[in-house]
Amino acid sequence: MKNKLIPLSIFLVFIVIFIIFYKGLQNTNIYTPGTKTSFEVPSVSVKLFNSNEIVNTLEIFSSDKFYLLNIWSSWCVPCRQEHSILMELTKDDNLRVIGINYKDTKKNANNFLKELGNPYDNIIFDNKGTNAIEWGAYGVPESFLINNNKIIKKYIGPLNERSMEEIKSFIK
């Protein structure tokens, strides 16, 4: 009897372990950050890219216009992919595009803008990446649609044709 009980208990332990692993594989472990919207623009002192002037973000987003804040970097391949979308969005007078240059050098950023064009009305220089954290960004590129100092939509990853049409529908 004892000889039959040991193999049976080992078999049951393996069955339990198999079931646990099988259930674990059924659950997705892909992390998708939240896209919380309708929160206010953070009040942060930032350095402007071209002038090195220190200003508060509330001064940049002061009017009742629509703003698109785009976090980008010259070393970011998806940033290159979305750049033509940003250039297209600058043609709309109801939208101002503001950039945060994230963990980059001014030389590389200037070369990037000379090569692809500058869609930004203003650029915040964030060489340490701390300003992007204040906005709740997870990486580059990310974009925030802003109106009346409220973030109304967050785009994680590069902008595409669909997101461009969505932005245009918001600002009409």
pLDDT tens track, the chain, 172 positions: 667 788 888 888 889 888 888 887 777 655 455 545 558 888 889 999 989 899 999 889 877 789 999 999 999 999 999 999 999 999 998 999 999 999 999 999 999 999 999 999 999 999 999 999 989 888 899 999 999 889 999 999 999 999 999 999 998 8
DSSP secondary structure string for all residues of 120-162? -SEEEEETTSHHHHHTT--SSSEEEEEETTEEEEEEES---HH
Q: Residue 56, class by beta-carbon neighbours within 10 Å (0-12 exposed, 13-18 middle, 19+ buried)?
A: middle
Q: Which domains does the chain have, with CATH numbers?
A: 39-171 (3.40.30.10)
The conformation of residue 89, written as its DSSP 8-state character, comes to H
For the record, the structure tokens of 125 come out as 């220089």
pTM of the complete model: 0.77
Show the CA angle centred on residue 146, arms to residues 129 and 109, nearest 5°: 35
